[in-house]
Amino acid sequence: MPTAQTDPEDNPASSNSCCGTLPFPELRQPVVVGDSASIATSTNVFWSWPVLGPLLVENESSDARDHCANERTFLSYLRLSVYMAVVAIAIVLSFHLKTQPSDLELRMAQPLGIIFWLLSLSCLVLGFGNYIKTLDKYSRKVAIVQTGWRTQSVMSLIALSIVGTCVILLVIEKMQADE
């Protein structure tokens, strides 16, 4: 009687890897986005079981492209959040290359740093929320326009804070040059 051939990758015990197997393989099973079973078990495909499983997207029309665009948008929010956190830390530490910070700069450093840190966190939360909402709507085949009053207000506040901080720093620089 012939025996069935098995792929060595299918059997983790026969793996010749130096690291062995990763723990909890049931947590890494793929979740098919757009599958009717995954939609019925959870209100949002992002939080469906298994939580650590990769999300697989069936490429019907332009679904995979749209999901990749959604991920790139989230990564842009993440990048902006990291940049603003770095700026917040630099402001709080009163980073100067040539001169010592003035007394006025030292008094303004902590409030400006806190503002930028809070805006960094709000940008990260907004980006993550948009990612999850868009992923859920894509999985239910719902058309979506990714904008809203929350996104517009947070991004406007970030832009206003950046421009305002630049103006404040230019005024401080002018005041120091006049002395």
State the DSSP code for 98.
Answer: S
Sign of the four-CA dihedral 91, 92, 94, 97 = negative
Tell me the CA distances in angstroms from 12 to 19, 20, 39, one per residue in order. 11, 8, 30
Statement to judge: residues 91 and 30 lie in one domain: no
Considering the chain, what is the average pLDDT of its residues?
75
| 11 assigned to some structural domain | no
| 48 assigned to some structural domain | yes
By C-alpha distance, which of 48, 109, 119 is closest to 82?
A: 119
The total number of structural domains that make up the chain: 2
Asked whether residue 126 carries a pLDDT value surpassing 60, the answer given is yes
Tell me if the pTM is above 0.85: no
Sign of the four-CA dihedral 140, 141, 143, 145 = positive
Q: How confident is the model at residue 145 (pLDDT cuts 50, 70, 90)?
A: low
Statement to judge: residues 66 and 116 lie in one domain: yes
